[in-house]
A and B are shown apart, each in its own frame.
Chain A
Amino acid sequence: MKLCDLEVGTQAKILAVNGQGALRDRLLDMGLTPRTKIMIRKTAPMGDPIQLSLRNYELTLRLDDARNIDVEQVEVI
């Protein structure tokens, strides 16, 4: 499952960050490493970019870039 396919409010665990170059480096540096738990906070009013919550902070990235991130949805009990 891709990060861009997650609905607002869902929690997920990162499996892998694909892609290459500066963008991928940036994503890894910002803490989007495998096994990191994230939550989709919201999408911008025009539908893109999206806002994530991870590691106790808020991060925004574009849907196009979120396509590079494989995730696994976490069941919320």
Chain B
Amino acid sequence: MNIALAGNQNCGKTTLFNQLTGSNQHVGNFPGVTVDKKEGVVRGRKGMTVVDLPGIYSLSPYSSEEIVTRDYLIREHPDAIINIVDAGNIERNLYLSLQLLNLDIPMVIALNMMDEVRANGGTIKTVEMSKALGVPVVPISASSNEGIGELIEKIQYVASRRIKPVHVDFCGGAVHRTIHSITHLIEDHAQAIGAAPKFAATKLAEGDTLMLESLHVSENEAETIEHTIVEMEAETGTDRKAAIADMRYAFIEKLSHATVVKPAESRQHKQSVAIDRILTGKYTAIPVFLLIMALVFWLTFGVIGSFLSDLMGTGVEFVTQTVTNALLSSGANPVIISLVSDGILAGVGSVLSFLPTIITLFLFLSLLEDSGYMARVAFVMDKLLRKIGLSGKSFVPMLIGFGCSVPAIMSTRTLTSERDRRMTIFLVPFMSCSAKLPIYAMFTMAFFPKHSALVMIILYITGMALGILTGLILNKTAYKGHPVPFVMELPNYRLPSPKTVVLLLWDKTKDFLQRAFTLIFVASLVIWFLNTFGPGLNTVTNSDDSMLAGIGKVIAPVFAPLGFGDWRASTALITGLAAKEAVISTLAVLTGSGSAGLVTTLSEIFTPLSAFSFLIFTLLYTPCVAAIGAYRNEMKSTRAAVVMVFFQIAVAWVAAFIVYQVGLLIIH
């Protein structure tokens, strides 16, 4: 038995899904799109799976996520629909319900957040509402696990007996007559393509040309339909789309007047408006935003994250030591020992030590997202981002990019438009990630000790400026197209349930571990292999003779025009692909100076100008394998990832070239 869970955004859908399934869920993909498909078995009901569909406001979809929901409901023929409705926001929520009822699929309405309605002194006459809508209505409170048992009973009942919604006419007059006569006319056509006649008829009455095409009606019938609709427009004095929307809302207003008792304005709503006086206030919004983000970054990278990362690092080190010692004492081949400890454990381990930071960052971000604050950030920042053709919703991923590109790229899933998403992912790496900070620190210490802060600020600003420039260009070229309307709900502030947060973090951890043990595992092996063996597949004692150094020497001339044609610099850039921190450690190894002496030995390879050019290159060139992997995952395309890699190398090369050559001109 397959149950679809559908509802508006911000109505507690994920919370209900978690209550229904517990941890008994897995994430897959809807065919052909990047939208996650969360599925799970209902607790205690083997054979009853529920799919968490992306939130929608109507069956006329706008974003790729919404199209997924519509297509799933129409094409996959679920056995039943649980339509979750926010009882505190009932008018707009029921608008979707009325459309779902037309689908002729067994359905139960779950009236969520009833606890809040009751706390505000209100009630909803669910029996009357159920009669008026022709489907069972179950009051629940997903966050406190109320009414879930009854909901499961009801959905099982309607699904197993295939009890379709009782036909209710939502309207009288012209709209009713139009839909009625169109239904009559197209009934056979609709059944032939497996569509619900009333749904198809309502779509036609709205003027949906795609539906008209897919029904294969004759020319005569099409004319009759058009004629009926034109008559309806004349009689209602408005156009078809507005007439239907108006009809639905008029019915809902009447229904909620009869069934919803609301003595006072909702306390949650009042509270939210009060909180927004500060969080989106004219003078306070931006300072508070900066403060919140600073706090999140400080806690993530400074306090909690670094503490956990150190702990993880110690753990990884301990495992590495233990394994290496065990191998040594067992008298294993030194190459094998090196493979395990320098290759696998060092590579995967260095990435694993990022895990706590990333999870901590995600914890804060999900708190900000689920509480409703991210919608406010989008509201406040929209005007700024619109200049490069994006909406306010893209602001948050870019911000996270300053921490780490990987979670930043992953967080673009919340964006509603596929175009905005792709473009945002493309721009994220321009925000200099925190792993590059050690490189900047080392180089500024060596070459610009008096102006280190200034140099760093210049680097960050250069990244952002080139990001904006790229955005402007993309907006006019590759990602030209239809910006999605920025019409967004600002939901009431709400504390996310611990269960939802925990499950989300677990999800992210699994995601990350999976990547660490596949992609990064392989990448570490490759780099270890190149660094350990010489061109004749002989093991080398000095990394000077390794294949990695060989490759570094081959590509070194490419960097000569940028001022750092030394092979050690180019080799460091290659290992930087594994993780940006490796740039420094590689330079330390190759110059034979150790990280302490690196400040002095760097001047053997670089001049201040070429050092700056090197920093510019580091800032802009391809991010680490983890980021490339995330990019590939999100774009669902290896080709896109390859294009991205070369694009970034090209940008970095050109920028560093300009810096170096112009710098030379100025000096001479």
- Chain A positions within 8 Å of B, measured between CB atoms, are 16-17, 22-31, 33-34, 36, 41-42, 44-49, 51, 55-62, 65
Contact = CB atoms under 8 A, between A and B. Distances in A.
Q: Considering residues B280, B286, B491, which has the most beta carbons from chain A within 10 angstroms of its beta carbon?
A: B280
25 contacts: A16-B242, A25-B58, A26-B62, A27-B485, A29-B57, A29-B95, A30-B489, A34-B242, A36-B249, A42-B282, A44-B379, A44-B382, A45-B285, A45-B286, A46-B380, A48-B383, A49-B486, A51-B490, A55-B91, A55-B92, A56-B91, A56-B269, A58-B489, A60-B487, A61-B485
A27 B382 CA distance: 18
B554 interface: no
Interface of B: 57-58, 60, 62, 88-92, 95, 238, 241-242, 245-246, 249, 266, 269, 272-273, 276, 280-283, 285-286, 379-380, 382-384, 386, 482, 484-491
- Majority DSSP secondary structure for residues of A touching B: mixed
Given A22-B485, A44-B380, A51-B379, A31 B490 contact: no
B487 A57 contact: no
A28 B241 contact: yes
- Majority DSSP secondary structure for residues of B touching A: helix
A55 B249 CA distance: 10
B488 A59 contact: yes
A29 B491 CA distance: 16
Q: Considering residues B90, B249, B272, B485, which has the most beta carbons from chain A within 10 angstroms of its beta carbon?
A: B485
Given A26-B487, A57-B490, A59-B489, 17 more contacts: A16-B242, A17-B242, A22-B62, A24-B241, A25-B58, A25-B241, A30-B92, A33-B246, A36-B249, A42-B276, A44-B383, A55-B92, A56-B266, A57-B491, A58-B489, A58-B490, A65-B487
A44 B242 CA distance: 28
B379 A41 contact: no
Contacts of A44: 280, 285, 379-380, 382-383
Contact of A65 (B246, B283, B380, B485): B485
Contacts of A23: 485, 487
Given A26-B62, A30-B57, A61-B486, A51 B383 contact: no
Contact of B95 (A31, A34, A48, A61): A31
B379 A25 contact: no
A60 B486 contact: yes
Contact of A33 (B245, B280, B281, B382): B245
